């Protein structure tokens, strides 16, 4: 028990000394450390900002999603009775889930409730709206849409599902672009840490050579470098979260004002509580990985046979 505790105490003391030494060396090189920290923080903040934007876009898209219903606006000469007869001919079709008819009176009431032009419509004196047939497709709406557009008495056929499909396609493209940019920016963050560690190795080259001659193993030499990389990564992750929070705070009022000018009650989705710890952990691991790349390259050159 005593030997095990002594070994653990020695291991803990070595890691504590390596961490303190790494932190002190970062402070001794403030310009290069701050430069690497800023580069890595920006490289992490950009994909985080894009991910936050995609989260808000997905929420906004879910609010503006309309039904798959197809609306057929009949010509003014078509009466409600004729419209219901045409709707009856579509009932029971295999590709139709439901069909209803909205009378001009119902359309005018809905228009007055939802439109700022209600007073202007009231001045007209008569109802200018036609009867509307609302058809909900069952599965594939392509063939049904063609049939409805071919109706001789149809003045206009509106199908918002086309815009939904286009919006979903743009969102899918944005997610793929986000993944690509994340890989590129994360690679840049790793290279920034690796370059900082390479500069640290260059300033300590004689010291490392002496330690190697005294029998120090690669793990002992690598340990403070890994701590330095992890510390840079952690600080860069914290700074990236601060940049994201500051940017969101700065632009949120303007964006919300623009969206609400269109009559929407959209509100931003708050960041998940698990995101900051995940970002900090991921940034720390990226820093360790970048430091290991630089240290491993140097040690392979100076010590061909790894101990």
Judge if 56 and 126 occupy the same domain. Answer: no
**Global pTM?**
0.63
Q: Which of 188, 278, 284 is nearest to 229 (CA)?
A: 284
Judge if 154 and 169 occupy the same domain. Answer: no
- What's the N-to-C CA distance of the chain in angstroms? 28
Tell me the chain's radius of gyration from C-alpha atoms: 32
Q: Which of 138, 159, 180 is the last residue of a domain?
A: 159
Residue in the block written with tokens 């390479």 = 198
What confidence category does residue 19 fall into, taking pLDDT thresholds of 50, 70 and 90?
low
Judge if 113 and 128 occupy the same domain. Answer: yes
DSSP-derived letter for residue 1 is -
Q: Does residue 101 form part of some domain?
A: yes
Judge if 221 and 298 occupy the same domain. Answer: yes
Judge if 191 and 292 occupy the same domain. Answer: yes
Judge if 149 and 55 occupy the same domain. Answer: no
Judge if 183 and 237 occupy the same domain. Answer: yes
DSSP-derived letter for residue 273 is T
What confidence category does residue 23 fall into, taking pLDDT thresholds of 50, 70 and 90?
low
Which two tokens mark 278? 């995940």
Question: By residue range, what is the domain housing residue 101?
Answer: 70-159
Q: Does residue 9 form part of some domain?
A: no
- pLDDT tens-digit readout, 82-133: 888 888 888 878 778 888 888 878 877 776 666 555 566 666 667 777 888 8
CATH of the domain at 147: 3.30.70.3040
Compute CA 125 distance to the chain's CA centroid, rounded to the nearest angstrom. Answer: 50
Say whether pLDDT at 65 is over 60.
no
Which two tokens mark 132? 């509307």
Which two tokens mark 109? 């009431």
- pLDDT tens-digit readout, 184-237: 888 888 888 888 888 777 777 777 777 777 777 777 777 888 888 888 889 999
How many domains are contained in the chain? 2
């Amino acid at each position: 028990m005593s030997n095990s505790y002594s070994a653990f105490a020695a291991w803990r003391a070595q890691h504590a000394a390596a961490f303190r030494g790494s932190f002190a060396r970062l402070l001794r090189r403030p310009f290069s450390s701050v430069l690497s920290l800023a580069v890595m923080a920006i490289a992490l903040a950009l994909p985080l900002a894009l991910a936050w934007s995609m989260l808000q876009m997905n929420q906004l898209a879910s609010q503006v999603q309309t039904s798959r219903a197809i609306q057929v606006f009949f010509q003014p000469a078509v009466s409600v009775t004729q419209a219901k007869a045409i709707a009856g001919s579509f009932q029971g079709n295999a590709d139709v889930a439901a069909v209803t008819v909205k009378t001009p009176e119902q359309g005018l009431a809905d228009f007055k409730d939802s439109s700022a032009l209600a007073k202007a419509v009231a001045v007209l004196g008569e109802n200018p709206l036609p009867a509307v047939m609302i058809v909900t497709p069952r599965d594939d709406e392509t063939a049904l849409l063609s049939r409805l557009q071919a109706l001789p008495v149809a003045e206009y056929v509106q199908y918002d599902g086309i815009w939904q499909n286009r919006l979903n396609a743009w969102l899918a493209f944005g997610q793929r672009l986000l993944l690509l940019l994340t890989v590129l920016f994360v690679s840049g963050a790793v290279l920034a840490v690796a370059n900082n560690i390479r500069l640290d190795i260059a300033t300590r080259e004689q010291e490392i050579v002496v330690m190697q001659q005294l029998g120090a193993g690669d793990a002992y030499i690598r340990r403070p470098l890994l701590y330095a990389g992890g510390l840079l990564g952690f600080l860069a992750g914290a700074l990236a979260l601060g940049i994201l929070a500051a940017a969101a705070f700065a632009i949120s009022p303007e964006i919300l004002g623009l969206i609400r000018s269109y009559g929407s009650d959209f509100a931003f989705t708050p960041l998940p509580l698990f995101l900051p710890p995940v970002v900090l952990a991921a940034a720390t691991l990226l820093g360790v990985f970048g430091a290991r790349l630089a240290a491993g390259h140097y040690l392979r050159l100076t010590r061909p046979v790894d101990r």
